[in-house]
Amino acid sequence: MSYKVIRWGIIGCGKIAHKFVQDLTLIEDGELMAVASRNIEKATDFKAQYSARKAYGSYDDLFSDEDVDIVYIATPHTSHAELSIQAMESGKHVLCEKPLAINATDAQMMIDVSKKQIGFLWRHYVHVLILIF
């Protein structure tokens, strides 16, 4: 059976992003398309290490890349809501590292935006669901 290759964009170049991409290389229907960091040198090094096609020194540049299908948010948790919302509003699917957000209000904003957009993937925990619903 043939599947469409899912083209990933990674936001952040920290330890968890490295682990994620190492696992991504194990699946045949995933491709590392782009990586973005606030520091272009880090993004360029990450690109070279994992054979990504593109490196960006701006998150906005990755969000506007039409070759990226889904964005993995691997930044510090305080930026998860803002970056996830930006990605969704740019038409990207999102996989957000935990915690989803720093409070229930931010998590609810993420959910509200996701309902208006194409999709949103997230790991959930019962204590977050209790706060939101």
Q: Give the Cα separation of 86 and 90 in Å (integer).
A: 6
* Helix 80-89, helix 104-116: angle, nearest 10: 10
- pLDDT-derived band at 23, boundaries 50, 70, 90: very high
Q: What percentage of the chain reaches a pLDDT higher than 90? A: 72
Q: Radius of gyration over alpha carbons of the chain, in Å?
A: 14
pTM: 0.85
CB atoms within 10 A of CB 22: 10
Give yes or no for a contact between 71 and 86, defined as CB atoms under 8 angstroms apart.
no
> Out of 34-43, 57-66, 114-123, which region has the weakest mean confidence (pLDDT)?
114-123
Domain 6-132 falls under CATH 3.40.50.720 = yes
Q: Give the Cα separation of 86 and 23 in Å (integer).
A: 25
Q: Give the Cα separation of 100 and 77 in Å (integer).
A: 7
Nearest to 90 by CA among 63, 56, 118, 115: 63
Please determine, for residue 28, whether its predicted confidence score (pLDDT) is greater than 90.
no
Residues 63-76: what's their mean pLDDT? 96
